[in-house]
């Protein structure tokens, strides 16, 4: 390559074919597209699209808020659940506070929890008292 030669390719334009040639038989040429713009139509279109987007966002936000509040209400503890708990707790307290037959043939009885705890304390206090006397005799 020499420094005297151009460093670019020359533009090559193919010859126009018959489709590109216009004759007087065609009449007046077509006007260019969008040469005259209707600003009111343009504003109407832009604000129409903008309004559609705003309305869509509001509808989605309202739907989402409704869905979330319903979902939260389902997940939170309701009054019915607490009423069930109170009834179950009352049955458990009644079981722990009263004498009941467990097995009549075997003679197994359920004691109230206070009586059962007192019996256990007396049993272990008595054995500790006996153990202390036995240990002191040695």
pLDDT per residue as tens digits for the range 54-84: 999 999 999 999 999 988 887 775 656 677 8
Token pair 């604000």 is at which residue? Answer: 47
Residues 95, 110 contacting (CB under 8 angstroms): yes
Token pair 């008595």 is at which residue? Answer: 126
Q: How confident is the model at residue 45 (pLDDT cuts 50, 70, 90)?
A: very high
Contacts of 7 (CB under 8 A, 6+ apart): 1
The reply to whether the predicted model has a pTM over 0.85 is no
Above 50 in pLDDT, residue 103? yes
**Tens digit of each residue's pLDDT (9 = 90 or more) over 105-121:** 998 998 898 998 998 99
Q: How far apart are CA 69 and CA 51, in angstroms?
A: 27
Residues 97, 113 contacting (CB under 8 angstroms): yes
Residues 29-35 have a mean pLDDT of: 74
């Amino acid at each position: 390559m020499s420094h005297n030669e151009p460093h670019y390719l020359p533009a090559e334009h193919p010859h126009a074919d018959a489709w590109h040639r216009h004759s007087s038989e065609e009449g007046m040429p077509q006007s260019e597209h969008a040469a005259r713009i209707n600003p009111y139509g343009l504003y109407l279109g832009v604000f129409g699209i903008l309004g559609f987007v705003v309305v869509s966002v509001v509808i989605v936000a309202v739907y989402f808020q409704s869905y979330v509040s319903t979902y939260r209400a389902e997940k939170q503890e309701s009054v019915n659940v607490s009423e069930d708990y109170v009834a179950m707790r009352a049955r458990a307290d009644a079981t722990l506070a009263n004498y009941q037959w467990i097995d009549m043939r075997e003679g197994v009885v359920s004691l109230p929890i206070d009586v059962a705890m007192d019996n256990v304390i007396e049993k272990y206090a008595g054995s500790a008292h006996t153990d202390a006397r036995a240990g002191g005799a040695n």
